[in-house]
Amino acid sequence: MAALPRLVCASSVMLVVWAGFCSAVCVEVPSETEAVQGTHMKLLCISCMKREEVTASTVVEWFYRPEGGKDEPIYEYRKTNHEFPSRFSGRLQWNGSKDMQDVSITVLNVTLNDSGIYTCNITREFEFEIHRPLFTSSRLIHLTVVEEAGEDFTSVISEIMMYILLVFLTLWLLIEMVYCYRKVSKAEEAAQENATDYLAIPSENKENCAVPVEE
């Protein structure tokens, strides 16, 4: 049954990719908000640009705020990657795209202490002939790190729906089999009755039945 959640996830990914091709440039997808201790967690940050805005210089700043604490810089992209000294030292990996619309980072070997709020700030300076306007945007990710992965509610619903579908199909097949069996039985009974009635007819009447009467 574990294959079904994977199928649902794969279908979701394909839907997102298809939507990305249908749109002009990209699709803004929210980041996951739960990670399992000891795994790698990608903090997804996507900032789409219009076609006429593709030519731009981009600065990306990542901040982390623990529960009840203050924002502290942990990572920066300004033409080159720079990792600030923090609890994440040596555990941050850049996952941004070449067009700088995806400016995500990955936290390696996540710990329980990595729970908190991550902020992704994007500053773009667009290169127009007359002026160079600046635009900024932010993404907040409330990350919770757990010791073990819990069963996804969507997976549970998918499995329940699968069982309901199997029961429905089984009942439908049984009904079809009973219907076909009764239909065949009635046809055989009718054929048997016709054969019996034919055998009960006298020989001379059989010949009259077999030869058509001409006027």
Q: Across the chain, what does the average pLDDT equal?
A: 79
What integer pLDDT is reported at residue 15 of this predicted model? 38
Rounded CA separation 145/158 (Å):
25
What integer pLDDT is reported at residue 149 of this predicted model? 73
Coil, helix or strand for 79?
Answer: coil
Report if residue 186 sits inside a domain. Answer: no
DSSP string, 153-195: HHHHHHHHHHHHHHHHHHHHHHHHHHHHHHHHHHHHHHHHHHH
Overall number of domains in the chain: 2
- With 50 as the cut, is the pLDDT of residue 161 above it? yes
| Better pLDDT: 96 or 19 | 96
Q: What burial class does residue 139 get, using C-beta atoms within 10 Å of its C-beta: 0-12 exposed, 13-18 middle, 19+ buried?
A: buried
Provide the pairing of β-strand 134-146 with 34-36.
parallel
Report if residue 15 sits inside a domain. Answer: no
- With 80 as the cut, is the pLDDT of residue 97 above it? yes
- Identify whether residues 84 and 118 lie together within a single domain: yes
- With 80 as the cut, is the pLDDT of residue 196 above it? no
- With 60 as the cut, is the pLDDT of residue 153 above it? no
**Residue 11: pLDDT band with limits 50, 70, 90:** very low
| Better pLDDT: 111 or 53 | 111
What integer pLDDT is reported at residue 212 of this predicted model? 53
Q: What is the CATH number of the domain that holds 89?
A: 2.60.40.10
**Residue 151: pLDDT band with limits 50, 70, 90:** low
Report if residue 122 sits inside a domain. Answer: yes
- Identify whether residues 117 and 61 lie together within a single domain: yes
Report if residue 116 sits inside a domain. Answer: yes
- With 80 as the cut, is the pLDDT of residue 69 above it? yes
Q: Percentages helix, strand, coil for the chain, rounded to the nearest 5? A: 40, 25, 35
What residues make up the domain containing 109?
Answer: 27-147
What integer pLDDT is reported at residue 155 of this predicted model? 67
By percentage, how much of the chain surpasses pLDDT 90?
38
Span 148-167, average pLDDT: 76
Report if residue 9 sits inside a domain. Answer: no
Report if residue 11 sits inside a domain. Answer: no
- With 70 as the cut, is the pLDDT of residue 19 above it? no
Span 55-60, average pLDDT: 88
